[in-house]
Amino acid sequence: MNIPGNIWRDKHGVCHVDGKDREEVVELMGYAHGKDRGMQMLLMRILGQGRTSELLDSSDEMLEIDKFFRRMNWAGSTSLEVDKFSPAAKGVADAYNRGVTKALSEKIPWEFKLFGYKPEPWRTEDSVLISRMIGYLTLAQSQGEMERLLIELVQAGVDAQRLEELFPGILGELDVDLIKKIKLQERIVSPASLWNIAAPIMMASNNWAVSGQKTTSGKPILANDPHLEVNRLPNVWYEMVLKTKDRYAMGGTMPGVPAILVGRNPDLAWSATYTFMDSTDSWIEQCKNGSYLREPEKWLKFTERVEMIKRKNKDTVTVVFYENDHGVLEGNPYEEGHYIATAWAPSLSGAVTFNSFVKMWDAKTVKEGMDILGYVESTWNFVLADTQGNIGYQMSGLMPKRREGISGFVPLPSWEAKNNWQGFEKPEDLPRCYNPPSGYFVTTNQDLNEFGKVSPINAGMGPYRSDRVGKLLAENNKINCEYMYKIQHDVFSTQAESFMKILAPLLPHSEKVKILKDWDLEYSADSEGAYLFDQFIKELYRLVFGENGFGRDAACYLDEHTGTFNDFYINFDRILLSEDSLWFGGKKREDLYLQASENALKEPPRKWGDARKLVLTNIFFSGKLPRFLGFDRGPVTIIGSLATPHQGQIFQSAGRQTSFAPSFRMVTDLSTDDIYTNMSGGPSDRRFSKWYCSDLDNWMTGKYKKIGIDPGQEKILFQ
């Protein structure tokens, strides 16, 4: 590997690699990841293996983190997937491993030297592990939490009629009496352990493509801005340009995975958002004496998996997990009772996903890309565009086949064989669209079931962002990259528009009320109206779903400490916007709105930006070092809300402040070989590197940098 001449930075610090073939550039990619993001990669691997107590921190909190990852057991089955890699994928993975291992052999991140940890060589199994973590954490996991919330609501006495209003059409065969028997081990409305130190919190995103019929260049333009946790350093994304003699690929990578996850090659561009496909199911297990019931009256023993968690300077902890064909049991089957076992469809994924992304290097058309990406095992909305003028959409993911009338949202009796999965749906039956008549396609985590032969989404985000983006695209037939930037920064809320149509006529006249009534519905940093409306909507949620529902304390906790109201707000908004509901407790909707507004307007108005500040903290030290050392940056102001194209969410999660905002913005016009981007951070995880936060100012001010393959651009030594 001829490192000095083949790997370099452009003036923005973005890493470029040149090689004779794909394997050589991927080896250099691994080297770049290991040099610039070695700390991030090693921390992710340790976390996913459930070894934080052994190698870093033996606190009780870290023990709970390790238990979570040992329970998921993603590291325990990776070798089986590696054996299924295609020859091309194996060659790419082996090359990547060589590059990462070389980088780490030259210099171990000093953070790990403090703990006496000498990292093992990077293996393909490690990349499979990280791909599973990316696909599950806070994504598929949030679906499981909503299904758990259903159980909690049933056990709290919420009647079936109100549940049907909250979860319309997906409660087939809900057995209230049986669900009340379930012994839950962990509850949503009790504090969770902080397990996501290195792993990014991921959730919402926008992507869209516009055909050449609506652009000034005559070629399609594609945009993507994944909304992840931005109050972390380094940023989860790492930008790269990979180039051989006759081909290139560039865009966003995630260190640990040898692929361009969102980006483009000379012919095709692709982007991703999360789908909210229901790929996580729970079954009710009746247990006694270490066994579980199967029909007809057959008791089978659980498989017992014993995990030994080593702890620095403390005794080893032994944990036993009980497993069967429905996943891992939440509970002790030797204590008689009903428990749940939960399975995530892609829990044994890896090979097919890697084989697919390797093919994207040579993909040339939207149709080809759709056929490739449809087989990715975790759940994503891929929007694509090609130089031939085509645009398209393809959902990916392993969608379980369930019997008719069963959504997968309600936990069903495990002892009835009819409730088992019957394999997975075909990619071509998942939602997809090719060259829509409108000339554009938008995904913002909304319900996209209408585009499929099957319906993968039970509970998703609302259509507020997609409605706004679609309106802005529909009204312009001379779209360019600058217009895409404008949309990515748009802070107009169609959610607020819907609520204010009801609220505004009810409000009395006063100076403070005038601020809210005259609000332009934009969540800009200097808006006082945005702040007052946010107080109103929170009060309305707590009033309707707290005092009239499952308790104000529980509603406050869900609002302040979980993503439930943030992720699945349309389920709740649908009720709040309806003229009448059982959740109103016999009161009129207008009276509830007025009461909520009176409570909200007791607070003095503030500028939205003053209430939306974040410090970006180093993932290794988690804000424990003095600010003057420079590991943490900010505070920065987050504009937007959960329902604006520029999403801006801030809340407490597992005891710390977290966020959803555009972590990485990308726009590319297929008439050129360039992409335009910015991100909340920089290329390096090294605090004393000039590239640690080199793109943060661009991200904050909305300035986009140009990344391309122009051979005449300035080359900076990669070090």
Is residue 630 in some structural domain? no
Is residue 135 in some structural domain? yes
In the block, which residue shows the tokens 């640690």? 692
The residue out of 554, 584, 610 marking a domain boundary is 610
Q: Which residues contact 364 (CB under 8 A, 6 or more apart)?
A: 267, 268, 386
Integer angstrom CA distances of residue 666 from 11, 26, 385, 662 = 18, 22, 14, 10
538, 661: one domain: no
150, 134: one domain: yes
DSSP labels for 558-617? HHHHSSHHHHSHHHHHHHHTSS--GGGTT--HHHHHHHHHHHHTTSPP--GGGG-EEEEE
Is residue 646 in some structural domain? no
**Residue ranges of the chain with pLDDT lower than 50?**
4, 188-197
Is residue 629 in some structural domain? no
460, 503: one domain: no
Task: For residue 552, give its domain range.
Answer: 494-610
- Residue 654 is predicted with a pLDDT of 56
Tell me the longest C-alpha to C-alpha distance in the chain: 75
DSSP three-state, residue 201:
coil
Integer angstrom CA distances of residue 206 from 293, 349, 500, 558 = 44, 25, 25, 25
Helix (H) and strand (E) counts in the chain = 23, 29
- Residue 14 is predicted with a pLDDT of 97
DSSP three-state, residue 514:
helix
Are the C-beta atoms of residues 539 and 546 closer than 8 Å to each other? no
590, 688: one domain: no
Kindly provide the residue ranges of all beta strands, DSSP E only, lying in 325-390, ordered along the sequence: 327-329, 337-344, 380-386
Are the C-beta atoms of residues 500 and 521 closer than 8 Å to each other? yes
191, 45: one domain: yes
568, 458: one domain: no
Any idea what DSSP says for residue 219? S
CA gap 714, 8 in Å, rounded: 10
CA gap 164, 634 in Å, rounded: 44
DSSP three-state, residue 122:
coil
485, 571: one domain: no
CA gap 261, 224 in Å, rounded: 12
Is residue 204 in some structural domain? yes
294, 146: one domain: yes
- Residue 680 is predicted with a pLDDT of 94
146, 21: one domain: yes
Is residue 712 in some structural domain? no
570, 441: one domain: no
Is residue 5 in some structural domain? yes
- At 649, phi and psi to the nearest 5? -115, 140
559, 459: one domain: no
DSSP three-state, residue 240:
strand
Q: How many domains does the chain have?
A: 2
Is residue 273 in some structural domain? yes
511, 453: one domain: no
